[in-house]
Chains A and B, each alone.
Chain A
Amino acid sequence: MSRHLRRKAFGWLMFALTAACALLSLSVLFYILGYIFAKGCSSLSWSFLVHLPKPAGELGGGIANSIVGSIKIVGLASLAGIPIGVLGGVYLSEFGSGRLGFLIRYASDILNGVPSIVTGLFAYAVVVEPMKSFSGLAGSVALAIIMIPIVLRSAEDFLRLVPQTIREAALALGVPQWKVILRIVIPSAARGIVTASLLAMARIAGETAPLLFTSFGNSFWDSGWLNPMAALPHTIFIYAISPYDDLHRQAWAAALVLMAFVLAVNVGSRLLLRPSSATPR
């Protein structure tokens, strides 16, 4: 075989290997999704979604309290995290070229990299310890802290995509800058900001670590924000490490519910933001 052919063949061999890598990565994803779907479907039923868990040892029961708890904890975290993140993002994109802008970016990058369990420690120190009680509120605080830097940086990215000429056109007509931002810049970037917020919600809805010692979990309906509250990912964890087969079965069903929500948000936002170059993370 000539030298040239040998080099070509080696190249194709290596490319075949890279294709195998990509195929392997994709098949892992599909395997995970398929496995959760198959395992979860067999245990998922309407009564599983609307009933409370049964006492330990008894078969059956549902995850209604975990679903409601997750919605409450994530909802409160979003009520705090999205406005703070979006308005902070407005500052970064419209006024943030100075030193303060640099510091805010720096701080949110640090926050973004903080392991979620450490954020949980912080929420434990500032909410659980002073109040002397695990609470849904503490869980929301932890999740909001995770959410703020994500929303902040992606809101900034989407606002920066709004063409400068639009701002200048409005300013030239004599519109005050705050009005330009509120009425023209933010609405132009609204679709991106909404999807970024939804993605952030999907992200924190799957967080378990910061909830372990903040919202703590609960086998009944929670009795208010200042008391322990169940959450879906946390319940999956508890059931998964329990020794009972029936609870393992329920863990898969609960995982399917959580996964369906996360998938719907991710695929939905991808479809909403057609031009793929406009999807910063």
Chain B
Amino acid sequence: MNEASETVVVAGPRQRPGDRFFRYLTAAFGLVAILLAVSLAVSLWRGSQAAWLKFGPHFIVGTNWNPVKEKFGALPFIYGTLVSSLVALVVALPLGVGSAIFLSELASPTVSDVCSFLIELLAAVPSVILGLMGIFVLVPVVRAVEPFLSRRLGFLPLFRGAPYGVGLLAAGLILALMILPYITVITREVLLQVPKPMKEAMLALGATHWETVWGVSLPYARSGIAGALFLSLGRALGETMAVTMVIGNTPKISASLFDPAYSMAAVIANELAEAVGDMHLSSLVAIGLTLFGITVVINGLARLMLYRLGAAGK
């Protein structure tokens, strides 16, 4: 795409000083992005040095978080973050892929475009507003539904315990709402890219429309859907406000989804402004660094999968 302009710059008979100046100028602005990414990582690393030196690996596997006694173990937060995000994926994946199949296979192009724009709007709702809905609408509903769930599914440890309302289940449901647009929109775009001849071949062999979707389109879109999943996971892991407002903010590890928990982002949000000492501050930054590391890896995987599909940058 850039070959033409590239030739002019590199191989042209003479390069005007103005051109070179302009090129360096814009490069300087692009460099800002690199500079920010590097200094962000360095700053988190330096800020968390004290905590890593004092606790070492125990920081990640320790379960005791007590700022007053200066004991810091981040496992309950890591657990809460991972489990609430997993709940979100389990809820949002079938819903998102289902919507995407409908939008790409059945709906007319206009309806499909309008609907996918509307679903994308869901991603534009500020997370603090979703949290507000969470506190006053979702949590009471969850509290009402939990006794029913534990009566029916109580044989699983996941669905036992007192119905608090706030907890991993509520947090997971709010997160599902936030990642649903990503899964739907990306999956729809990938499904629209499935080559027509492949589907026609399947239909010509006597398969029904659904069997074509199931046997051709979905397998073709597999890596795109996986990419969308990882991208959503990256969003869910780092989501702060909505989770803080409904997860219950209790640092403990419990098998039940009904119990209040805590997430990595939420503990930073709640405690940083009032950190009681340097070690507390450093431990919170260490949690931030861990979160940063996890999301960089997850987003990298997502991009790899979408890139393989030729849909990179989405």
B22: contacting residue among A88, A104, A181, A237, CB under 8 A: A181
Q: A178 CA to B26 CA in the complex, in Å?
A: 10
Query: Which residues of A have CB within 8 Å of B96?
Result: 21, 25
**Interface size range on B against A:** 35 or more
Query: Which residues of A have CB within 8 Å of B25?
Result: 87
- Residues B211 and A91 in contact, CB atoms below 8 Å apart: no
Query: Which residues of B have CB within 8 Å of A241?
Result: 135, 245
B41-66, CB < 8 A from A: 43-44, 47
B36: contacting residue among A8, A101, A145, A262, CB under 8 A: A145
Output the nearest chain B residue to A167 by Cβ-Cβ distance: B5
Whether B27 is near chain A, meaning CB under 8 Å from some CB there, is yes
Main secondary structure of the interface of A (DSSP, over half): helix
Asked whether A110 and B26 contact (CB < 8 A) given A26-B115, A118-B44, A145-B36, the answer is no
Asked whether A148 and B9 contact (CB < 8 A) given A15-B102, A87-B26, the answer is no
- Residues A266 and B272 in contact, CB atoms below 8 Å apart: no
Output the nearest chain A residue to B35 by Cβ-Cβ distance: A107
Stretch at the interface among B124-132, B151-159, B250-258: B124-132
- Residues A152 and B273 in contact, CB atoms below 8 Å apart: no
Within the complex, the shortest CB–CB distance from A197 to chain B, in Å, comes to 14
A111: contacting residue among B5, B37, B208, B210, CB under 8 A: B37
Within the complex, the shortest CB–CB distance from A252 to chain B, in Å, comes to 7
Whether A244 is near chain B, meaning CB under 8 Å from some CB there, is no
Stretch at the interface among B69-77, B194-202, B284-292: B284-292
Stretch at the interface among A46-54, A71-79, A188-196, A202-210: A202-210
Asked whether A18 and B208 contact (CB < 8 A) given A152-B30, A152-B33, the answer is no
Whether A41 is near chain B, meaning CB under 8 Å from some CB there, is no
A160: contacting residue among B1, B132, B269, CB under 8 A: B1
Q: A15 CA to B292 CA in the complex, in Å?
A: 40
- Residues A100 and B18 in contact, CB atoms below 8 Å apart: no
B124: contacting residue among A111, A126, A152, A266, CB under 8 A: A266
- Residues A7 and B208 in contact, CB atoms below 8 Å apart: yes
- Residues A259 and B125 in contact, CB atoms below 8 Å apart: yes
- Residues B118 and A18 in contact, CB atoms below 8 Å apart: no
Output the nearest chain B residue to A207 by Cβ-Cβ distance: B126
Please give the residue numbers on chain B whose beta carbons come within 8 Å of chain A beta carbons, in ascending order: 1-6, 8-9, 16, 18-19, 21-23, 25-27, 29-34, 36-40, 43-44, 47, 94-99, 101-103, 105-107, 113, 115, 117-119, 121-122, 124-133, 135-137, 177, 180, 184, 208-211, 214, 234, 237-241, 245, 265, 268-269, 272-273, 284-285, 288, 291-292, 295-296, 298-299, 303, 313-314
Q: Which 5 A-B pairs have the closest CB atoms?
A: A115-B238, A206-B126, A11-B210, A21-B98, A178-B22
Please give the residue numbers on chain A whose beta carbons come within 8 Å of chain B beta carbons, in ascending order: 7-8, 10-12, 14-15, 17-22, 24-26, 28-29, 32, 35-36, 83-84, 87-88, 90-97, 100-101, 103-104, 107-122, 124-126, 134, 145, 148-149, 152-153, 157, 160, 164, 167-168, 171, 176-179, 181-182, 202-203, 205-209, 212-213, 216, 233-234, 236-237, 240-241, 248, 251-252, 255, 258-259, 262-263, 266, 270, 276, 280-281
Given contacts A88-B30, A167-B5, A178-B23, 11 further A-B contacts (CB under 8 A): A17-B98, A18-B101, A21-B96, A96-B30, A97-B3, A107-B36, A118-B295, A121-B43, A212-B273, A259-B126, A281-B314
